[in-house]
């Protein structure tokens, strides 16, 4: 089965795969540590996506939605 998650808010559409790619890119630009777990929190109302990598508060950040 193939599936796709599209998030719609305020007239915008964002593919969840694009969000994950942006988060991975931002995370990799900050560390060389291998990422085994990535928790992503999307807040469309603020236009931000926040993340925590490897359950480590030192490996966290945000990207635009």
40 pLDDT above the threshold of 90: yes
- C-alpha separations of 36 from 32, 53, 56, 57 in Å: 12, 8, 11, 14
Does residue 43 fall inside a structural domain?
yes
By residue range, what is the domain housing residue 58?
6-64
Question: What is the average pLDDT value for the chain, to the nearest integer?
Answer: 91
49 pLDDT above the threshold of 90: yes
Count of residues making up the chain: 65
Q: Report the C-alpha gap between 58 and 54 in whole angstroms.
A: 9
State pTM to two decimals: 0.83
Structure tokens at 54: 């490897």
The residues pairing with 13 across neighbouring beta strands, listed in sequence order, are 8
Does residue 27 fall inside a structural domain?
yes
Does residue 20 fall inside a structural domain?
yes
Sorting pLDDT into bands at 50, 70 and 90, what band is 21? very high
30 pLDDT above the threshold of 90: no
Count how many domains the chain has.
1
Does residue 31 fall inside a structural domain?
yes
- First CA to last CA across the chain, in angstroms? 27
């Amino acid at each position: 089965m193939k599936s796709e998650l599209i998030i719609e808010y305020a007239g915008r559409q964002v593919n969840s795969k694009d969000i994950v790619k942006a988060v991975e890119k931002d995370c990799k630009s900050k560390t060389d540590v291998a990422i085994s777990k990535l928790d992503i929190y999307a807040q469309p109302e603020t236009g931000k996506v926040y993340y925590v990598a490897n359950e480590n508060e030192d490996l966290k950040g945000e990207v635009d939605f």
